[in-house]
Amino acid sequence: MGTGFTKKQAYKARNADLAALLLALDPIHYRREGNSVRLIDPTRPRGKQVKAVSVKLGANWWHDFSTGETKNAVQYLTERMNYNLVDAIRALSGESVEYHPANTMDSYRSSMISRASVPLQFPEPTDMRPRQMYAYLMHRGIYPETIRQLTELGILYQSRNHNNLVFINRERDFAEIRGTCSFGSPFHSVVKNQPDRFWYFGVGKPDKVYVCEAAIDAISLYQLKLKEGTIDNAVYASIAGVANQKTIDRIRTGKMDVILAVDNDTAGQACRDRNPDLKAIIPAHKDWNEDLLKGKNPSLDDMIRNTKAGVTGSYRKKENCTAAEMAR
């Protein structure tokens, strides 16, 4: 093992094809699927795979759908494959480095266990008036009163650095972070140390939970029902990505009626297909925020359906909720 690396090696490592390297190092645990390479467990049946890690062909980065992490190639080798920094750079720069692939899944599981024991680091809240937070959410059609209520519950704040929105759950083991830029694709990140955590707020004494893809969608669905006058005793939850099936499975273990409220797109339909026994409501446009912004206000009662039992569901009309009611 060398004692260091050159600038040329570091440059090559930063721009390496991570997918190609993984396929060459360990073709047993890494398989090509379409334009990506996935980490699989060969000891599990094909239909029982949890394909959380994905690497785009030709890319020097990777994404873990179970944790929301996106990092570079060097970090993958050092954090997930037990390389030290020097050997990782040597491998990515094209030099041969000994590797024992039999430990791949054990290393991945160990990294998840150790990650769960480390305290999470959330963005610090601003000590100024959260003007960007109010401006951005009001631009997205959210009432100022709703923003204030969520802030009072301690599950929404504006970060000190970058002025991002931070949707953090009460258990402080999950946060969905979103930029407040009104142009381009806003920054989006998730902080969690367990794959099944989520953000939520409740109204009254909940007997059902609406599972949405993002926090803004969950708030928008609540806002639509508020406008319609059909607010019911429910939890509005964000799983931060429709691919987070473990979160849906965890929510299903509760006693509340689970209603999928994911997007009206291909990924959303795939989620509904994966959970055919769950009720579902589908936005008229792509998501609930777009429905809210475009003034679409359909009867949500009529939209609730069960793929096996047909249309069902009833709601008790309720006036505007206070923060205390939302906290129950």
The pLDDT tens digits for 287-300 are: 999 999 988 444 44
Give domain status of residue 50, yes or no. Answer: yes
At residue 263, does pLDDT exceed 60?
Answer: yes
**What would the pLDDT profile of 67-82 be if each residue is shown by its tens digit?**
677 888 888 888 777 7
Q: Are 66 and 169 found together in one domain?
A: no
Closest to 313 (Cα-Cα) out of 195, 208, 212: 208
Assess if residue 240 is contained within a domain.
yes
Same domain, 104 and 135: no
pLDDT of residue 51: 58
Both 306 and 167 in one domain: the answer is: yes
pLDDT at residue number 218 = 97
Residues 160 and 305 in one domain: yes
* Same-domain status, 112 and 135: no
150 within a domain of the structure (yes/no): yes
Whether residue 40 is predicted with pLDDT greater than 80 in this model: the reply is no
CATH for 90: 3.90.580.10
User: Which CATH number goes with the domain that contains 197?
Assistant: 3.40.1360.10
The structural domain count of the chain equals 2
- Contact between residue 111 and residue 80 where contact means Cβ atoms under 8 Å apart: yes
What average pLDDT does this structure show over 161-166?
A: 92
Whether pLDDT at 133 is above 80: yes
Q: What is the average per-residue pLDDT within 215-234?
A: 91
Residue 153 sits in the same domain as residue 251: yes
Supply the range of the domain harboring residue 17. Answer: 7-116
Together in a domain, 232 and 293: yes
178: in domain = yes
Q: What is the pLDDT of residue 100?
A: 46
For residue 238, tell me if it sits in a domain: yes
Residue 191 Cα distances to 23, 65, 109, 201, 237, angstroms: 29, 12, 18, 18, 16
Q: Do the domain assignments include residue 126?
A: no
Instruction: Single out the residue in 75, 92, 116 at which a domain terminates.
Output: 116
Average pLDDT over residues 16-31: 77
Top pLDDT among 312 and 240 is at 240
Q: Are 50 and 139 found together in one domain? A: no
**Cβ–Cβ under 8 Å, residues 216 and 185:** no
Residues 52 and 165: their CA atoms lie apart, in Å, by 26
Supply the pLDDT for residue 61: 79
In a domain, 320, yes or no: yes
121 assigned to some structural domain: no
Rounded to whole angstroms, how far apart are CA atoms 31 and 26? 9
Q: Are residues 145 and 89 in the same domain?
A: no
Strand-pairing partners, residue 63, are 54, 70
- Do 108 and 255 lie in one domain? The reply is no
